Amino acid sequence: MVFVWVLGAVLVALPVAAQDTDKIPNIDTEDPTTRRLSLPEVIKMAREQSPSYQQALTQLENRTWQYHTYKSNYLPQLALYATLPSYTKDYERVTDATTGKINFVGVQSAISSGHLELKQNVGLTGGVISIDSKLQRIDDNDGHSYASNPVVVTLRQPIFNHNNLKWDRKTEPLRYEEAKRNFWEEMERIAVRATDLFFSQLQSQISYDIAQKNVATNDTLFKIAQARFYNAKISVNELLQLELSLLTSKQSLEQAKLEIETTTLRLKTYLGLTETYPIRLIAPAQIPQFEVAEETALKQALENRSRVIGIKREEIDAERNLDWAEASSGVNADLFLQYGLTQRAESIGPVYQDPTSQQRVNLGLSIPLMDWGRNKSRIGTAKANLKLVKANLEQQRVSFEQDVYLQVKRFKMLREQMKIAQQANGLAERRFLGARDRYLNGKIGFLELNQASSERDSARRSYVSSLRNFWDAYYNLRLQTLYDFETNQPLTMPLPF
């Protein structure tokens, strides 16, 4: 009778934490050195301080500055160039005009100059127009003199050439938009990775809890069995079986200790945590309930994902390469037009008075006459590459849509499996409680009780595994669509700078 009461007290105390079948038990709640984290807290930390976040932020910042550089190409550029001064003291050869004799004459000079230039690229034509103002002063053996160009207007215009500025206007805004969406997607990838590490540790945590309880239960049962064996109430085979169960549970506990240390280290490393305090994870208790239609998911994916922008940009890049090949294979010309005012004087004042006009015109041509089919081959290669790119991108569009569709189906399936696993966890717990009562009443033996306990532990692990699969599918669905179906809002959050 004493044995029954002792064993009953032990078995009643051990599974108290598992009475709530909708939650995974969390022990050590009073330990002040343990930091308790939920899944949303872990994801928030990963999105704000993890090395992956810093890397994503740096990539976005790099692309942002590249975009600003692109926009500056279409804005006026003002620059000042100066030489203050360029001094020379040397001997130069001088030929006497009368005798023809060559003599070396000492020369000493200093040249100072200033040049102010306002330059503007012309995106429509690919040319450059500039307005300059120049002033020079020369000091030599004969004194000093000035030369000025108060205003000089210059146009440099390629004709029939490839216009990089025109194509940049098509591709660079797409690259920047693609970079922003890549950043938002990376935030969801971080959530997926953090979720995976969270549940890896949670599963280790549950296994450790189970191993601790099994060691305590088996140790108590073995001690009671020893007393009963000495009283000749059980066989030596049953005693050895209980001892073997105790040793096996101790071995499982040591393995669980190593596993939880490993998973904790991985989680802390990913989150960028350097503290040495232990972590206790809180399993998600609530499952979000919302409907996801395949058509809505696909619509949001096509509107929000970076890959859709990337497909469009890659097609334009292929067209750009073809345009470059065609422009490079024909007649190329460069037109140079310049008109300005110029004057020279012995002092600074008159150098800006009554300037005379200055004109320069230059037209350069480049005409391929015989290249043994090189230009034709270059154009053919670009056309074939454009055709291949379009075919590949069309296949990528189809695969993209299929991936979104399958992800929605996977999410719905795993949500149903989650409900079944939750019910199975509750049933296994109730079955164990019933088996415990029957064991205390002497209606079943230890093997039946041990089987019920094993099935309860297995159901608990299966429940955690289902939780893991569900939340992985949840964040992958957000990643695939960049859309929050709970709030019905796109995941296009404000940029951090």
DSSP state of 291: -
Rounded CA separation 446/11 (Å): 13
Residue 398: which H helix or E strand, with range? helix 374-440
Rounded CA separation 301/292 (Å): 13
Give the per-residue pLDDT at 18. Answer: 35
pLDDT cut 90: percent of the chain above it? 33
Rounded CA separation 207/262 (Å): 13
Residue 91: strand pairing partners: 106
Please check the confidence at residue 189 and state whether its pLDDT lies above 90. Answer: yes
Pick the residue with more confidence: 362 or 427? 427
Give the per-residue pLDDT at 4. Answer: 40
CA terminus-to-terminus distance, the chain: 73
**What is the per-residue pLDDT across 47-75, written as a single tens digit (0 to 9) for each?**
999 999 999 999 999 999 999 999 999 99
**What is the per-residue pLDDT across 315-365, written as a single tens digit (0 to 9) for each?**
999 999 988 888 888 778 888 888 888 888 787 878 778 888 777 777 776
Place of tokens 């429509």: 124
Domains of the chain as residue ranges with CATH: 2-66+169-313+390-490 (1.20.1600.10), 80-122+127-162+331-367 (no CATH)
Rounded CA separation 27/409 (Å): 36
**What is the per-residue pLDDT across 362-419, written as a single tens digit (0 to 9) for each?**
777 666 666 677 777 888 888 888 888 889 888 888 999 999 999 999 999 998 888 8
Please check the confidence at residue 20 and state whether its pLDDT lies above 60. Answer: no
Name 184's Cβ contacts closer than 8 Å, sequence gap at least 6. 304, 482, 491, 492, 493
Average pLDDT, the chain: 83
Please check the confidence at residue 132 and state whether its pLDDT lies above 50. Answer: yes
Are β-strands 127-140 and 143-159 bridged in parallel, bridged antiparallel, or unpaired?
antiparallel
For the ranges 88-92, 151-155, 193-197, the lowest mean pLDDT is seen at 88-92
pTM of the model: 0.79
Give the per-residue pLDDT at 21. Answer: 35
Please check the confidence at residue 110 and state whether its pLDDT lies above 80. Answer: yes
Rounded CA separation 402/301 (Å): 11
Give the per-residue pLDDT at 365. Answer: 67
Q: What is the mean pLDDT of residues 98-123?
A: 85
Contacts of range 13-16, beta carbons closer than 8 Å, 24 or more positions apart? 14/213, 14/216, 14/217, 15/213, 15/429, 15/432, 15/433, 15/436, 15/456
